[in-house]
């Protein structure tokens, strides 16, 4: 893994942790359920090494919690 890929990987991991923390604090309800779907899609994209898609889903998860 080159340095650029490693930096993107670290950014994705930090973004996932941030969204997960917000999700953990959110009250139960439809917003939290919608955010979970996006977070799970982000995990799947991250596992497939598609950081661009992972970030897109994480942004949508964050928006769903607002």
Q: What is the pLDDT of residue 27?
A: 96
Q: Is the pLDDT of residue 65 over 70?
A: yes
Task: Convert the pLDDT of each residue in 38-62 to its tens digit.
Answer: 999 999 999 999 999 999 999 999 9
The number of angstroms, rounded, from the C-alpha of 6 to the middle of its chain's C-alpha atoms is: 17
Task: Convert the pLDDT of each residue in 13-30 to its tens digit.
Answer: 999 999 999 999 999 999
Q: What is the pLDDT of residue 53?
A: 96
Please state the pTM of the whole predicted model: 0.87
| Domain assignments of the chain as residue spans, ordered by start | 16-64
């Amino acid at each position: 893994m080159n340095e650029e890929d490693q930096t993107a990987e670290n950014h994705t991991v930090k973004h996932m942790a941030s969204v997960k923390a917000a999700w953990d604090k959110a009250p139960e309800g439809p917003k939290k359920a919608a955010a979970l779907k996006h977070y799970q899609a982000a995990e799947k994209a991250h596992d497939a090494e598609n950081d661009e898609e992972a970030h897109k889903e994480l942004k949508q998860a964050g928006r769903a919690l607002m």
